[in-house]
Amino acid sequence: MVASTVRLFYELYDFYARYTEVLDDGPLECWPKFFTEQCMYQIIPRDNYDRGLRVAIMRCESRAMIEDRVTAVNETMMYEPRYLRHHTTDIRIEDSADRDVVARANFSVIETLPDELPRILMVGRYLDRLVRSDAFGWQFKEKLCVFDSVLVPNSIVFPV
């Protein structure tokens, strides 16, 4: 029992590390592969989440919508070039069954524009439901990115 829990933790640790690596270093086209076909991805302010208000600043209800988001970032949006570093910490498995896991973790996103000092773009927690498939390994069925501020960064064009 303990060995399987440790193995599961390290599998998820590696999965989250690969997830943030794709967000930071790309290619962003690989980001949708971390999600099941039918999934939910939201970036939601903590205040809304705590009150049960599900108004999100970014909401994708399927992998196809996530792929559309990648196309929008790559082809249609105008923004100043920037570097992002995502940090995922305190990964905790809250519940697990055969091929299903409920997990949570803390996150922070540091943004650096080429001619500026780095700044904290966003901090919060991930509330995730993951499933294991034979074809893809772990994937997110649901990913809620609950950020702690009530202010929305105007540069939140990239996924968290």
CATH number, position 29: 3.10.450.50
* Residue 156 falls inside a structural domain: no
pLDDT in tens, 104-133: 999 999 999 889 999 999 999 999 999 998
Q: What is the reported pLDDT for 79?
A: 67
Give the pLDDT confidence score for residue 42 in this predicted structure.
Answer: 96
Helix (H, G, I), strand (E, B) or coil at 147: strand
What's the structural domain count of the chain?
1
58 located within any domain: yes
**Contact 118/101 with Cβ under 8 angstroms?**
no
Assigned token pair, 61: 């209800």
Full residue range of the structural domain in which residue 58 is found: 2-147
103 pLDDT above the threshold of 90? yes
In this prediction, residue 1 carries a pLDDT of 52
Q: What is the pLDDT of residue 78?
A: 62
- Residue 68 falls inside a structural domain: yes
- For residue 20, being part of any structural domain is answered with yes
What is the rounded average pLDDT of the residues 60-88? 87
Residue 155 confidence (pLDDT) above 70? no
At residue 153, the pLDDT reads 67
CA angle, 23 as apex, 136 and 134 as ends, to 5°? 5
| Domain presence at residue 152 | no
The two structure tokens encoding residue 45: 């302010």
Tallying the residues shown for the chain, one arrives at: 160
Residue 50 domain-assigned (yes or no):
yes
pLDDT of residue 82: 84
Give the Cα separation of 147 and 38 in Å (integer).
Answer: 23
Respond yes or no on whether the N-terminal peptide bond of residue 32 is cis (omega within 30° of 0): no
The pTM assigned to this predicted structure is 0.91
Coil, strand or helix at 87? strand
35 and 145 Cβ atoms separated by less than 8 Å: no
Top-confidence residue, 112 or 73:
112
Return d(Cα 96, Cα 23) in angstroms, integer.
26
